[in-house]
Amino acid sequence: MKVLVVGSGGREHALAWKISHSPLCDEVLCAPGNPGTAEVARNVPVAATDLPALVQLAKSEEVDLVVVGPEDPLCDGLADQLREAGILVFGPGTRGANLERSKIEAKDLLERYRIPTAGAKRFDHSGRAKGYLESLTEWPMVVKADGLAAGKGVYVCDTLEEARTAVDAIMEERRHGAAGERILIEEFLKGEEASSFAITDGETLLILETVQDHKQVEEGDRGPNTGGMGVYSPVSSVSNRLHRQIEQRVLVPTVHALSREEIKYRGVLFVGLMLTDAGPRVVEYNVRFGDPECQALVRRMKSDLLPILLATAKGTLDKIEPPEWDPRFVVGVVAAAAGYPGSYAKDAPISGLQEAAALEGVEIFQAGTRLEGSEIVTNGGRVLCVTAMGDDLEQARERAYAAYDLIAWEGKFCRRDIGVRHQGKSGEEYALDEDPDEVQSETHRKAQESNVWPRT
């Protein structure tokens, strides 16, 4: 098979790396790719946002499957155009991608189908939003830009003044462009964050292992949100009991809701959750593999990923057995450029990559890099994701940071506390008292009747 991976980040490097190991795969193409993907794939200089050129590339290269990495081309309709051209594609169409493109549309769906989430108000005028904020007596609150903002459009505000500043930044200063034309103001959920990933062809769910991202730029979860500063897996706070409740209260109802809305969804369903004392609640939806979560998932997945992607694109996921997972821990540390998530310098030469990659259990995925002659230089805010496997979490952490410390460029920084959240509550403390096998909400019954089968 010939597979085209669309994108140029660490997620796409991880996907190309994993797919290239499949015995079914003859060649991987990556458009446009980066120096890391060039080691496992043939890079093609076509931008991930150039939809007509990507469709033409898939036709001319006679690819058997297209795997779309980033959210932007999905939201712009790349999967729809490929399917119209008769090309198999892993990724939802435009209507499915609206789950990520619009936080307001996602919230509407959550409320319409009674999927647990934070209470929220919607605003398209900054004055009305600030008027509502002034009526509140409980803090903190969360202010969110409605559209795509590269993970940076969410503001946790401890005071009225912080919230007013956030509204102005989003709606008046247009810090996130058109993404800030509308906003959500949500209640602040207390608990622990977790990410739940499932692959679905619209009828069958194949639920993946749990991972946990670290969004804020500074240690101790302080500072502005980023696209992700690190990740670890598995997550102790998601026990088998809690995992089952997430499946029955969130994942199955979501696929059922998409079916009821006549949305044929074929791709990844990535749900950001808050584990609260009242059970798991949805914070956001994403319609693609997370970055850096994808890097952790491919490291721990022992099974071949390509048959799963292909079956999803064909709508035959019910024929696929769940993948086998490595029981060891993985930690991924993002090496970032000074100034990120604000303005940052580029073109700094990177050294030590080969020495770091030679350490036991280590695999390095490139994101914000490019070639300058024969030298790899920085070309983004999040430059690398240094991943390491270990028999326990501490060994994985030690290996990841040892590898990180061998890599050098001017201005490099990271968070030194990736995986420390593992010390938090147990999964049983977050799980509700009821037996998850006995949870039979109306939505879940309808999902079963609609031939939606959870596969764990």
The confidence score (pLDDT) of residue 423 equals 53
Could you tell me if residue 318 is left (phi over 0), alpha (psi between -120 and 50 degrees) or otherwise beta? Answer: alpha
Residues 6+ apart with CB under 8 A from 155: 142, 143, 144, 162, 163, 166, 169, 170, 225
The confidence score (pLDDT) of residue 239 equals 83
Residue 447, pLDDT > 50, answer no
The confidence score (pLDDT) of residue 259 equals 94
Closest CA to 396 of 406, 387, 385: 387
The confidence score (pLDDT) of residue 225 equals 84
Q: What are the pLDDT digits (tens) for 228-249? A: 999 999 988 778 888 899 999 9
Region 286-312: what's the mean pLDDT? 97
Region 16-36: what's the mean pLDDT? 98
Residue 400, pLDDT > 60, answer yes
The confidence score (pLDDT) of residue 453 equals 39
Taking the whole predicted model, whether its pTM rises above 0.95 is answered as: no
Query: DSSP 3-state assignment of 99?
Result: helix
Region 315-327: what's the mean pLDDT? 95
Region 65-85: what's the mean pLDDT? 97
What contacts 24+ positions apart, CB below 8 Å, involve 43-46? none
Structure tokens at 329: 């821990």
Closest CA to 295 of 415, 213, 403, 412: 213
Confidence of residue 435 (pLDDT cuts 50, 70, 90): low
Lowest mean pLDDT segment, chosen from 38-47, 206-215, 301-310 = 206-215
Confidence of residue 126 (pLDDT cuts 50, 70, 90): very high
The confidence score (pLDDT) of residue 443 equals 37
Closest CA to 292 of 212, 208, 220: 212
